[in-house]
Chains A and B, each alone.
Chain A
Amino acid sequence: MKKPTQFFFVFFIVFLVSCRKEEPPVKEYQEDKGVFICNEGNFMSGNSSLSFFNTNTKKISNEVFYNANGFPLGDVCQSMKIFGNYGFIVINNSGKIMVLNTTTFKYIASISNLPSPRYLEIISNTKAYVSDYSSHYISIIDPSQFIIKGNIHIGATTEAICKSEDFIFVSSWSFGNKIYKIDSRIDKVIDSVEVVIQPNSMVFDKNNKLWVLSDGGFNGLAYGWENAALSRINPEDMSIEAVFTFENKDLSPTRLQISQGRDTLYYLNGGWGVLHPSSGVCQMSINDNSLPQTALIQENGRLFFGLGIHPSNGNIYISDAKDYVKNSVVYRYSSQANLLDSFKVDIGAGYFCFKE
């Protein structure tokens, strides 16, 4: 009897002592030019993160926000915008925007109490618009004071945002098929136009025409399934000047981008790994009369998820999200589509934000 009692006692003491607490170590960064990569992570897992690729040293640093601050970004890091020394990181499923110093990656503030923010566009020192997936309005924030100032009722969910002087153009992607024009001086919708369903991304070209990429939904989506299309809109009167329809209904293009000279469009066609000749990164001149039949950079069994064009040298940044469970790989290509290098980032790398 005595022995077991001793044994229990020792057992108890050993495990009492084994209690511990770990504080995360904090790293110091001093980074100059480069590219921020938003890694979405997995929805509801809170494992999104930020990576930084230094374009001078060609060094990739992962999880820079967590390492610099000791706490995570949140759930689903959707997009990022730089304004002065501030980086505004939109954390979709945490309902907030995290603001950091773009050199030291130190946390500055957070703008919380948003429903489901997606993208942000800076209008002035005191005004920025934030699109939203789970509400029928866009939020107006103050990017200097980090507060929500108000909202603009749209009547649909919102996604991509593009700016042209005083006018802001917002697409409605989820359950949507419209592009809305907002006068930022009065914060009101003044016009809109219908496009193919689910317009997911937009850019302005050098002629100040608005290009809109609609993915058309997918087979089984209750909202509908149409052939995807690229539309060119005259922002003055919101008239549709041209529509380029994707012939294969299974193709679902995303991430419309434009070259530094604003004369060449890029988008991801796909996809998700299917071996279609135009599955991959497609390139199209704004003067072309048809969509490209083959991809500039073939997807080749990879799963292209994010696309970015460097605003000063035109390098093409593509992420391969693999199965969204493993770490993504970023491929860097020159504007002539020669592979420069590749590096591992985090889960679900989807958005590139260039710091110059």
Chain B
Amino acid sequence: MKQNQYLWSFLFAGILFLTNMNLFSQKTDTIITIPPVDIVSEKPLKDRIVQRIKIDTTLIQNYLNNNLSDLLSNHTPLFVKTYGQGSLATISFRGAGASHTSVEWNGININNPMLGQVDFSQLPIIFIDQIEILPGSSSLQNNSGALGGMINISSHPKFDKKLYGMAGFSYGSFNTKQSFAQIGGGNSKWQSRLRVFHETSDNNFEYYNNANGLWNYENQKNASYEKKGILAETHYQATKNLLSGSFWYHESDRNIPPIMSFQGMERIENQKDRDIRTSIKWISFFKKGNSDLNAGLSFNHLNYYLAHQTQFGLYENYRNSSESESYFLKYKLEFNLRKKLFLRWNSNFDHASAYYIDHRQDQSFNPKRNTLGSSLALFYTHRESTSFYILARKEMIDNKLTPFMPAIGMEINNLFFKRFIIKTNLSSNYHQASLNDMYWEPGGNPDLKSEKAISADVELSYSNKQNSVLFYQISSSFYASLVDNWIVWQPSEFRYWTAQNIQEVFARGLETKTEIKTNFKKLNVVFFANYSFTKTENIETDLDHIKSLGDQLIYIPENKANAFVNFVYSGYQLNYAYNFIGKRFTSGNENDERHFLPWYNLHNIGFSKKWIFKQWSSDIELKINNLLNTDYQAILWRAMPKRNYSLTLKINF
């Protein structure tokens, strides 16, 4: 059995290598660069139909010393469930669960294979150049399993720069100190870049405690953290090839604060994460397309500790570590068969293994998994105004074939008027259970089926001409998704909880996006706004097998909105971000009028000044978060900071 697996992977790797060599040997001309987009219908065929939300670089620049969770929470329809600054942040996308949002960094999946999810508080923006979001069905273009959607973060080489660099320091409320720097350079063939960051915070913010009967202001306890990381990358560009290698190391030590009602003896709770990620990418361009070979690894080491201080010293409740190792090998071929016909073939082999040990009980388990997947997509356009695709994907997990995953899509341009685009996607997608769901002891269930989603969406968008003085773009997406075999941990007959495929969830909703950009003399203004409506309910089956819609899933708001406006005027910059989170249920009770958290608004404001010298520039920026000093809870009885400030100094060359 095992030999068989290795044989498979070996053969697979061999085929990929040969295919790439073959393409490499073709006499082709220079790199195909996509010209700046003007009218949307002139997008290359491969970029049509599929929904792709690209995060504007203005925003990425504005969030340089923040985490991906902050940016996505404030500027996308995605709902970020956060326990506060420095603490766990997960994402629910289109009403799905946290493990249904997958994240790829430079082509490799960085979801923790044990938990199935990503902690977005551990992804610093300084390590990210590009962010692309593929919601729902569109994610199947890259890989399976992202029932909610996929987030691709990547590095982007600057082949036009000889030497560039940046160094910054930020000091903020609660003794939060951040330092970050990058240096890069090379020539038009070689480019290398190094980025580092370090952040510490006491995070001992003051909050009004209305949870213990004392009705007073308290400082948050046991919430300090320290994070540091390094990202090194190098890129080599030849006439028809691009070779990239990147290495990411991240270290995070954080204390976990108690909830607001805690009045017990001191408690020590902390988590230490160590992440290593490497991605090597080789893209070959040829006349009619390109091929992309990607290999990578992702290691995570997590230590969790909980102890109670007692009259006779520390009493240890938990001391456990989880280690996971994932290896990836991917191959992608994109090929224009004819002018109107485009083909994309994706194949991947992933190996994940984990080791969990409970040091206190001296218990451990060591699960493994191999996944082999392949998909083929054909895009066709008819008279340049109507395009279609058809995609088919199949996977083999540990020598067992999974069901077939198909997707289809269509795009119509200029239907009623120019630059009005309708896109629709329909797919059937499967998400494998996480290693913990299957092998946790006790309660893991090796017989779990993959979660299945049937999703459909329609996107309508309109924009005026790209080079208009006042450019605007509006879009609305409607989606519906039925997820079956949703995994839930349930109390079992053995007095511990077990993972079971029991829930069926129907999620549907609407996402709207508005973008306005204008340049008026020296004044540059950008405005973004998002609104999302998410109805995500489990389907209940009564004793007569009659199905009915149950409750909104907990911690997913029906309504979420945000807006951002940025003004730039001769070196001065002013921005304002607004975030609205609607009512969220905190327990799964029908018509529950008691177990919920009320809606809240958050306002952040930033002001900066840039000075430009010959080859140097420097910035100073003041940020005020939670401008109106709002008391709120994102999660029940978890304290959140009131108004807070940060001052950042930056030097660029």
- Chain A residues engaging chain B, CB cutoff 8 angstroms: 1, 4, 8, 11-12, 15-16, 18-19, 21-22, 42, 44-47, 62-63, 69-75, 91, 93-96, 98, 107, 110, 112-116, 132, 134-137, 151, 153, 215, 218-223, 250, 252, 270-274, 303, 321, 323-327, 347
Q: What per-residue 1/0 map shows which CB atoms of B362-398 lie under 8 Å from chain A?
A: 1100000000000000000000000000000000000
- Kindly state whether residue B492 has any CB partner on chain A within 8 Å: yes
Q: Which residues of chain B in 292-309 are interfacial with respect to chain A, using CB atoms and an 8 Å cutoff?
A: 308-309
- 19 CB-based A-B contacts, threshold 8 Å: A1-B518, A15-B603, A19-B628, A21-B631, A46-B637, A47-B586, A71-B212, A74-B261, A74-B263, A94-B264, A113-B264, A134-B308, A134-B310, A153-B312, A272-B491, A272-B494, A272-B495, A273-B492, A323-B588
Query: Residue on B with the closest CB to A250?
Result: B494
* In contact, B563 and A11 (Cβ under 8 angstroms): yes
A136 engages B213 (CB within 8 Å)? no
B365 and chain A: residue at smallest CB distance = A220
Q: Contacts A94-B264, A107-B213; is A45 near B637 (CB within 8 Å)?
A: yes
**B587 and A8 contacting across the interface, CB-CB below 8 Å:** no
Task: Give every chain A residue within 8 A of B264 (Cβ-Cβ).
Answer: 93-96, 112-116
Q: A110-B213, A113-B264, A222-B363 are in contact. Are A12 and B576 (CB under 8 A)?
A: yes
CB B366 to nearest CB in A, in angstroms, measures 15
Closest to B565 in A: A8
- On whether the beta carbons of A46 and B516 are closer than 8 Å, the reply is no
Q: Give every chain B residue within 8 A of A321 (Cβ-Cβ).
A: 491
Q: CB-CB < 8 A to B161: which residues of A?
A: none
Q: How distant is A51 from chain B, measured CB to nearest CB, in Å?
A: 12
Task: Say yes or no for B598: interface residue by CB 8 A criterion.
Answer: yes
- Shortest Cβ distance from residue B529 to the other chain A in the assembled complex, whole angstroms: 9
Contact call A137/B589, Cβ cutoff below 8 A? no
From B543, which residue of chain A is reached at the shortest CB distance?
A301
Contact of A135 with B310 at beta-carbon distance under 8 Å, contacts A107-B213, A220-B441, A325-B588 already known? yes
CA distance in complex: A250, B578 (Å)? 54
Evaluate contact between A95 and B598: CB separation under 8 angstroms: no
Of the candidates B362, B525, B594, B601, which one forms a contact with A19 in the assembled complex, judged by CB atoms under 8 Å apart? Answer: B601
State which residues 491-545 of B face A: CB under 8 Å: 491-496, 516, 518, 520, 525, 527
What is the CA–CA distance of A218 and B630 in the complex, to the nearest angstrom? 47
Find B362's partner among A21, A47, A222 (CB 8 Å cutoff). A222
- Considering the complex of A and B, which 6 residue pairs feature the smallest CB-CB distances, nearest first? A95-B264, A274-B493, A220-B442, A222-B361, A112-B263, A46-B637
Q: Which of B263, B525, B603, B636 contacts A94 (CB 8 A)?
A: B263
Contact B259 A44 (CB under 8 A): yes
Residues of B contacting A: mostly: loop
Judged by a CB distance under 8 angstroms, whether B189 is at the interface is: no
CB nearest to B598 among chain A residues: A22
Partner of B527, one of A4, A18, A252: A4
Given contacts A93-B264, A96-B264, A113-B265, 6 further A-B contacts (CB under 8 A): A15-B603, A46-B261, A72-B261, A94-B259, A96-B263, A115-B264
A350 CB, nearest partner CB in chain B, Å: 13
Tell me, rounded to whole Å, the shortest Cβ–Cβ distance linking A93 to chain B.
8
Quick one: which of B311, B362, B494, B520 contacts A218, CB cutoff 8 A? B494
Most chain A CB within 10 A, of B211, B490, B491, is at B491
For residue B6, CB closer than 8 A to chain A, the reply is no
Q: Is B358 an interface residue (CB 8 A)?
A: yes
A94 to B586, CA, bound (A): 19
Provide the B397-423 mask, 1 if CB < 8 A to any CB of A, else 0.
Answer: 000000000000000000000000000
Interface contact B311-A4, CB-CB below 8 Å: no
B315 within 8 A of A: yes
Taking a contact as CB atoms under 8 Å apart, the answer to whether A134 and B262 are in contact is no
Q: Give Cα distance in the complex from A75 to B516, angstroms.
A: 47
Q: A110-B212, A135-B312, A135-B315 are in contact. Are A94 and B261 (CB under 8 A)?
A: yes
B262 cross-chain contacts in A, Cβ below 8 A: 74-75, 93-95
Are A303 and B310 interface neighbours, CB within 8 A?
no
Which B residues are in CB contact (< 8 Å) with A271? Answer: 493, 495
Q: With A and B bound together, what is the CA distance between A19 and B629 in angstroms?
A: 9
Known A-B contacts A46-B261, A136-B312; the reply to A323 vs B491 at CB < 8 A is: yes
Please, which residues of chain B bring their CB within 8 A of the CB of A96? 263-264
Give B317-357 interface residues, CB cut-off 8 Å to A. 317
Say yes or no: A69 contacts B213, CB within 8 Å.
yes
On whether A252 and B595 interact (CB within 8 A), knowing A4-B527, A115-B264, the answer reads: no
Contact A135:B311 (CB < 8 A) given known A94-B262, A252-B495, A324-B491: yes
